[in-house]
Chains A and B, each alone.
Chain A
Amino acid sequence: MRSAFRYLLAILLCGFSFVTVQAQCPARPDSGTVVKDALTLDSVNGVLNADFTMKHSVDTAGFNHYCYIYDTAKGEVEAPTLRLNQGDHLVLDVKDRIESTDEGETSGMEMDMSGAPVCGDTGTPTLASTNVHFHGLNVPPVCHQDDVLTTLIQPNKPAFRFDMQIPKDEPPGLYWYHPHIHGFTEFQVNGGAAGALIVEGMEKVRPEVKGLTQRVFTIRQQYLVPWIPGPYQLTINFQVAASPSFPAPIIQMKPGEKQFWRVVNATIQDFMPLQVWFNGNPQKLEVIALDGYPLAKPRTQETILVPPAGRAEFIVQAPPEGTQAEFISLGYSTGPTGNPDLEQELGSIQLTSDDGTQTAATKPAQPGPPVTTENIKFADLEKQKPTTLRKLYFSEEFGGTNGPIQFYITVDGQKQKVFEANEKPVITTHVGAVEDWIIENHALETHAFHIHQIHFLLLEVDGKPVPTELRDTYEIPFWEGPGHPYHSIKGRFDFRDPTIAGTFVFHCHILLHEDLGMMHKILVLPKEE
């Protein structure tokens, strides 16, 4: 009936599931070891075929693991990185083999799915159900592609096939995939169910990265007891980053070497101001792309703020020998009612002649027409005249000691309400529309706005113009209270591509907020005749 009730039930089930669940996921790396990149799966002749199996287990410390398993000749690996080119096909078969002996998980929670279309398996979504969202990809919101509203993969059913073409003008860059079952997303992502997806060709757009060793770092987050507010434990490529309690993960570089780091913030709630320190001093980082979209012009900065679900791609130059170097996420205030995001060393940079066998060098440029920042999707968006201006706002209710209890994202003028699976879209538009949205934050907690299917052009922050950036997730800081204006962003949203037609969602990417209903639907109708 109420999503908060589902959440309560789920945390109870999740919190005590270690009593019954046997190990299904592979062991994760020990603390203080060399950070290895995930296994890479490349497309071959324009197609990437892969089979994933979603499993669940609980480790000896009590942490729940939800894992995308890929079988190799050497055994099972977790959450491979998918690499495709523009125009390639991704064919991904996903089986759900989450085992549960708990009646509550298999019998389903109270979720009204009446009237909702079905894609895949039928039944009620539960903690043991899953699906996949291809975060950031500009692909259609339809069944078997990137449709989180109706796609349901149930335990012990045949594999569900995702089959989509990466658009030929898809921006080269870093994307990611994760489950998106409303009400249960946080539990599975908290358990580690997330992986990187790369659309190749960055070196064509940004030759600065050509020939550089690439590292793909997926930062995840895990809690042991879900009802205790964060900050929770961070991991980097599944290795716990919790120094000084645990030895720091080791990132290997050659002295003076430039590497191209591609970082996914796959945490459930952590805003990460990333820095690289040499002897305690922050260094300049050359930012190449944000949220999988290459910057028109690289820029140099010491801190790159990556909200939950955001991505940052940047060049790091290792220091000379004898320098102490670290990869850091600084502390970040999410406001009076937000969870604390504490400073954490994500990795200790070890200078070595061995650049690590686990790393992957950038592949040579693929043949075909040149890719530039001018011929990728949304390149002309800045010049388009908006057809509509909308205003939305985040708000929440804080009625006790356990944090906010109601989370809303509301179209200005409409009644604030939490998301329900069978709700009508709160925004209806048409293919061909170009809309400007102002999104304010009325809450005493920072939120991370995300929209599926498209990137948006960031126009303004707090009413002031900002350098051109295409983003799919962006932070909106908390309201400081009386006497202060609401923080806001203004973005331009492009619905001109006919393949965008359909229903999809926008929401806060703090996953608890999303699960508790800080999300709504948008319907893009076919082009008006």
Chain B
Amino acid sequence: MRISLRSWFAYLTPLLVVGLCFVSGFAVGADHPHYVVTNDDVPPSLATSVTFYTVATNGQLTMKTKVLTGRGGIGGGYFAANRVTVVDSGNAECVYASDAQTGEIQGISVKTLEIAGHANGSKKDTGASNGIGLAMNAQYLYASFTDFSTIGTFQVLPGCKLKFVSDITVAGLQSGIVDGMVIHGDMMVVTYGDGSIESFNISAGVPVSNGDEQNSTGSRRGNTYPSGIDITQDGHYAIFGDTSPFTIVEVSDISSGKLTPTVVYRLGNALNSSNVLLSPDETLLYISNNQSGKLTAVFFDKTTGKLSKGCVSRALKGFVTDWSYTASLALEKTTGTGGMVYVAEFGAPSSIGEIEVTSSGGKCTLTESSKSPIADPNSPGLLSIGAFPPRPF
């Protein structure tokens, strides 16, 4: 999940926002960069990279540059591990990306588009099996390492640098490995690959379990497993996209500061729903149907936390023939329903799908743009993308 500490700006008057945004870097202006970024996750025989795409006013992507990290990726792994994250806190405009093979986290300056800093965790903090997921706020970056199921805490330093603090070993109730990870305020929520979920308190930096580890309601029924996560702007609900033979999303009320039993929503028959992303106005939840090559949007009521069926795209162009899976999602805009939805398309080479959204009167449409997909020739297995500037929560 992409983080900005300036979410309270959204409550200020439009004039104040406009006035401050040039200082904070929060809004998208002519002198403020607007990118979609990828973690190219190139296997270790070649150096991996992060590719930057500029976003035109109509949402179309154009490749700008490739930033080599000098290290190695693995070209695959968990769908729900966010391998790239961004921070835009006014005086810090950074993209962080993980190198799964070497366990290194790279910090890239958005201003210079160059590597500005990097850090490793402990010896067991590696992700050569299924990748390294990232989540961050302005003070700390958290990395979920899938080899030994550890979560590393890194202090965010000026200039897109990092300093390793410590790591903890985590495990699902059935010995599952850490899969999805997201933070909101003082709370971190993780999923494990065995159907269990857990939250942590990160107020002191290093995560401390809230003692609420539990099997999700869906996983107790069998054959569906929480994977990717998003959290509402007010921190009331955690939303889990499930690895499932259906489109299944589970919602937990976390307003108490702990996970509560999830409510299960079966929202369609498209195969797998591991990646989810709320629209900035929280009216829509976008779901990547990883093994159907489709995108689903469902309606979300941020007051009640309830989901209802919305719309599903056709299979995106090139599915099966050019690429195999859809994975993480990013949005063009930081307001409304987010404008164009971008989805990582895992292939060799990979691509980014562009999907136009309409939503009105309880109905929606998802239509792939005529220029989609946009090639990512730098990636032989794209799973993670992000947007800069990030969604404001």
Interface residues of chain A, those whose CB is within 8 Å of chain B, are 1-5, 8, 336, 393, 395, 397-402, 405-406, 408, 410, 415-418, 420, 442-444, 479, 481-483, 517
User: Which residues of B235-275 are within 8 A (CB) of A?
Assistant: 243, 245-246, 269, 271-272, 274
> A5 near B222 (CB under 8 angstroms)?
no
List the A residue with the shortest CB-CB distance to B270. A482
> A397 near B147 (CB under 8 angstroms)?
no
Q: Would you give 10 A-B contacts (Cβ < 8 Å), ordered by A?
A: A4-B175, A5-B177, A398-B291, A399-B78, A400-B81, A401-B325, A402-B76, A405-B130, A420-B175, A443-B223
Q: B147: which of A5, A336, A399, A482 is its contact (CB, 8 Å)?
A: A5
Q: Chain A's nearest CB lies how many Å from the CB of B249? A: 15
> B176 near A406 (CB under 8 angstroms)?
yes
> B174 near A415 (CB under 8 angstroms)?
yes
Compute how far the CA of A283 lies from the CA of B252 in the bound complex, rounded to whole angstroms.
Answer: 59
> B245 near A401 (CB under 8 angstroms)?
no
List the A residue with the shortest CB-CB distance to B268. A482
Q: A399: which of B80, B171, B215, B219 is its contact (CB, 8 Å)?
A: B80
Interface residues of chain B, those whose CB is within 8 Å of chain A, are 76-81, 128-131, 147-149, 171, 174-177, 179, 193-195, 215, 219, 222-223, 225, 227, 243, 245-246, 269, 271-272, 274, 291, 324-325, 346, 381, 383
> A402 near B129 (CB under 8 angstroms)?
yes
Q: B225: which of A8, A397, A417 is its contact (CB, 8 Å)?
A: A397
- Set of chain A residues within 8 Å of B193, measured between Cβ atoms: 397, 399, 405-406
> A400 near B195 (CB under 8 angstroms)?
no
> B222 near A416 (CB under 8 angstroms)?
yes
Q: B215: which of A3, A406, A415 is its contact (CB, 8 Å)?
A: A415
List the B residue with the shortest CB-CB distance to A444. B245
Compute how far the CA of A398 lies from the CA of B193 in the bound complex, rounded to whole angstroms.
Answer: 8
Q: Chain A's nearest CB lies how many Å from the CB of B22? A: 41
> B175 near A2 (CB under 8 angstroms)?
yes
> A401 near B243 (CB under 8 angstroms)?
no
> A8 near B269 (CB under 8 angstroms)?
no
- Set of chain B residues within 8 Å of A416, measured between Cβ atoms: 174, 194-195, 219, 222
Compute how far the CA of A2 lies from the CA of B196 in the bound complex, rounded to whole angstroms.
Answer: 15
Compute how far the CA of A364 lies from the CA of B269 in the bound complex, rounded to whole angstroms.
Answer: 61
Compute how far the CA of A4 lies from the CA of B219 in the bound complex, rounded to whole angstroms.
Answer: 20
> B130 near A402 (CB under 8 angstroms)?
yes
Task: A4-B177, A398-B291, A401-B381 given; name 10 further pairs at CB < 8 Å.
Answer: A2-B177, A336-B271, A399-B243, A401-B76, A405-B177, A410-B222, A415-B174, A416-B174, A417-B174, A443-B223
Compute how far the CA of A300 lies from the CA of B148 in the bound complex, rounded to whole angstroms.
Answer: 52
- Set of chain B residues within 8 Å of A3, measured between Cβ atoms: 175
- Set of chain A residues within 8 Å of B129, measured between Cβ atoms: 4, 8, 402
- Set of chain A residues within 8 Å of B130, measured between Cβ atoms: 399-400, 402, 405
Compute how far the CA of A303 lies from the CA of B27 in the bound complex, rounded to whole angstroms.
Answer: 66
Q: Chain B's nearest CB lies how many Å from the CB of A444? A: 6
> A479 near B245 (CB under 8 angstroms)?
yes
- Set of chain B residues within 8 Å of A399, measured between Cβ atoms: 78-80, 130, 179, 193, 225, 227, 243, 274
Q: A400: which of B76, B215, B219, B269 is its contact (CB, 8 Å)?
A: B76
List the B residue with the shortest CB-CB distance to A393. B222
Q: Chain B's nearest CB lies how many Å from the CB of A404? A: 9
Compute how far the CA of A250 lies from the CA of B43 in the bound complex, rounded to whole angstroms.
Answer: 40
Q: Chain A's nearest CB lies how many Å from the CB of B41? A: 10
- Set of chain B residues within 8 Å of A5, measured between Cβ atoms: 147-149, 177
> B223 near A2 (CB under 8 angstroms)?
no
> B177 near A418 (CB under 8 angstroms)?
no
> B271 near A481 (CB under 8 angstroms)?
yes
Q: Chain A's nearest CB lies how many Å from the CB of B172? A: 9
Q: Chain B's nearest CB lies how many Å from the CB of A341? A: 19
> B78 near A406 (CB under 8 angstroms)?
no
> A406 near B245 (CB under 8 angstroms)?
no
- Set of chain B residues within 8 Å of A2, measured between Cβ atoms: 149, 171, 175, 177
Compute how far the CA of A42 lies from the CA of B8 in the bound complex, rounded to whole angstroms.
Answer: 83
> A418 near B175 (CB under 8 angstroms)?
yes
Most B CB within 10 A of own CB, among A399, A402, A444: A399
Compute how far the CA of A406 lies from the CA of B179 in the bound complex, rounded to whole angstroms.
Answer: 12
> B77 near A401 (CB under 8 angstroms)?
yes
Q: A395: which of B147, B149, B222, B383 is its contact (CB, 8 Å)?
A: B222
Give 3 closest A-B pairs by Cβ, nearest first.
A401-B76, A400-B78, A482-B269
> A397 near B77 (CB under 8 angstroms)?
no
Most B CB within 10 A of own CB, among A3, A4, A442, A517: A4
Q: Chain A's nearest CB lies how many Å from the CB of B173? A: 8
